[in-house]
Amino acid sequence: MHADRDESAGTGGGAAGSTLLSKAREDAVTPYAEGDPILQVRDLAKHYPLTQGILFKRQIGAVRAVDGVDFDLYAGETLGIVGESGCGKSTVAKMLVHLERPTAGAIRYKGEDIAKLSGRALKAVRRNI
């Protein structure tokens, strides 16, 4: 899933105030500056291992719950995630507030990688997201 805001869309019409459009992935995530996205997500993925055996569990595969999610969220915007049951909506939400660790990807809040936060700093970010 690739998403970004539509610069040509007006502020009326949709509940989110902007339209999500597909676009090419941006590789670099830069430090936060005024006017930059508040929340940046790049290549977010969550894979759950499939194991076999009782005593010596060995991985025989993986379930790809979320794979390749990219989006930018700017101040004043609202993001809605829609999809079929079991498509990874709740998993994305849990990863955004770091209740679940992503298998791959980066989540930055105001330019700061939330994977490097803990304690009070992580709690403050969770409250703001």
Q: How does DSSP assign 67-105, residue by residue?
A: EEEEEEE-TT-------STTSSHHHHHHHHTTSS--SEE
Identify which has the larger pLDDT, 28 or 118: 118
Domain assignment present for 51: no
> Which tokens belong to 5?
């805001």
Give the Cα separation of 106 and 91 in Å (integer): 15
Domain assignment present for 99: yes
Q: In which order are the strands placed within the sheet that holds 39-52?
A: 58-73, 39-52, 104-109, 112-113
β-partners of residue 2 are 70
Average pLDDT in the 26-53 region?
A: 80
Domain assignment present for 92: yes
Query: Domains in the chain: how many in total?
Result: 1
Domain assignment present for 48: no
User: What's the pLDDT score for residue 54?
Assistant: 85
Q: What is the amino acid identity at position 7?
A: E
| pLDDT > 60? residue 103 | yes
Confidence of residue 31 (pLDDT cuts 50, 70, 90): low
Is pTM beyond 0.85? Reply is: no
Domain assignment present for 118: yes
Domain assignment present for 54: no
Give the Cα separation of 60 and 30 in Å (integer): 37
| pLDDT > 70? residue 122 | yes
Confidence of residue 16 (pLDDT cuts 50, 70, 90): very low
Q: What are the strands, taking DSSP E only, across 1-129?
A: 4-5, 20-21, 39-52, 58-73, 104-109, 112-113
| pLDDT > 50? residue 8 | no
Average pLDDT in the 106-119 region?
A: 91
* Domain around 85: 4-43+69-128
Domain assignment present for 122: yes
| pLDDT > 80? residue 11 | no
How many angstroms separate the first and last alpha carbons of the chain? 20
Work out the number of other CB atoms within 10 angstroms of the CB of residue 105: 18
For 48-101, how does the pLDDT look when each residue is reduced to its tens digit (9 = 90+)? 999 998 888 888 999 999 999 999 999 999 999 999 999 999 999 999 999 999
